[in-house]
Amino acid sequence: MNKILVVGSIGLDTVETPFGQVQDVLGGSATYFSVAASFFAPVNLVAVVGSDFPEKEVEYLKNRKIDIRGLVINPGKTFRWKGKYNYDLNTAQTLDTQLNVFAQFKPVLPTEYQDVPFVLLANIDPELQLEVLKQVKHPRFIACDTMNYWIEKKVDALKQVIAKVDLLFINEAEIRQLTKELNLVRASQKIFSWGAKYVIVKQGEYGALMFSQGSVFSTPGFPLEEVNDPTGAGDSFAGGFMGYLAKKGDFSEKCFRQAAVVGSVMASFNVEDFSLNRFKRLQYDEIETRFKEFKRLSHFEGTL
């Protein structure tokens, strides 16, 4: 089966939402992505943690059959992110970002990773995303994600990444900030002019829009009874999307649409609980059931 290479952050998050708070819990863009994708396809992970990273979380990644030969443990502290959500759960307010061991990190791909066909550059310093791209040999499909932190600090490197990828995952506020274009159709056209062929605009609880030249697809967010923590929803979406695409190895419009719904399915599970707690107890048959519920959610018949 097609493998997926992922580089991104692994961190310890401190998060406050109207429904509770957690301190120094497992988080990071690569973590959410890898775990979500691992339900569909094998994942090869590249990231760094510090010597304070809990061994039990490394064991968890291994138990999900995630290949961690590219996970480096360096002396120092693990990446930390502190965020808060108010009743508008769609927007995270970053209170603190400590890059720690990421500040000195230069990713080196193990030889076995260099031929992996599907590549996801999860949210991380775009200069590190470029370092990884230099080392992959025959990629079939490359996607990247980013966030306001990097748009503000490293926009030139980020544009170089966008020039080299097939697909950009980005949230609504961030594509507007990056392109300086309010209208999402025009904003995604600007991204196409920079190089990417697909743009997925994440809209929090409202779902996501997938743009390609001449086509747009909308997947809803699932109307959930219980939402506790939106952290990692975007990465879980990307994990579901890429995992499904790698599993199918099919680049048709039909498969992309299915992958976008799988992305929404995985994001919808993730937000039900803090950290990766929902994924830790998620079963594959629950994914199948929710995929079917998504189909019913916007299906209608009849003509006008």
Q: Which of 34, 179, 188, 231 binds ligand AMP (CB under 6 A)?
A: 231
The Cα–Cα gap between 175 and 201 comes to 8
Among the listed residues 105, 99, 5, 4, the one whose alpha carbon sits nearest the alpha carbon of residue 48: 105
Binding mask 159-198 for ligand AMP (x = CB under 6 A): ----------------------------------------
For residues 287 and 257, the answer to whether their CB atoms sit within 8 Å is no
Record the tokens describing residue 103, joined without a space. Answer: 């500040």
Question: Site residues for ligand AMP, window 67-86 (CB under 6 A)?
Answer: 81
Q: Which of 3, 7, 11, 113 binds ligand AMP (CB under 6 A)?
A: 11
Among the listed residues 96, 120, 148, the one whose alpha carbon sits nearest the alpha carbon of residue 236: 120
Q: Which stretch binds ligand AMP (CB under 6 A): 6-14, 70-78, 214-222, 246-254?
A: 6-14
Size of the site for ligand AMP (CB under 6 A): 17
Q: Which stretch binds ligand AMP (CB under 6 A): 217-225, 231-239, 249-257, 289-297?
A: 231-239
HEC sequence for 73-117: EECCCCEEEEEECCCCCCCCEEEEEECHHHHHCCCCCCHHHCCCC
Does the protein bind ligand AMP through residue 50 (CB under 6 A)?
Answer: no
Does the protein bind ligand AMP through residue 263 (CB under 6 A)?
Answer: no
> DSSP string covering 140-171, please?
SEEEEE--HHHHHH-HHHHHHHHHH-SEEEEE
Q: Which stretch binds ligand AMP (CB under 6 A): 26-34, 113-121, 132-140, 183-191?
A: 26-34
Give the position of tokens 């990417």: 196
Question: Site residues for ligand AMP, window 101-140 (CB under 6 A)?
Answer: 123-124
How many other C-beta atoms can be found within 10 angstroms of the C-beta atom of residue 117? 17
Contact residues: ligand AMP, CB under 6 A: 9, 11, 13, 27-29, 81, 97, 123-124, 147, 149, 231-235
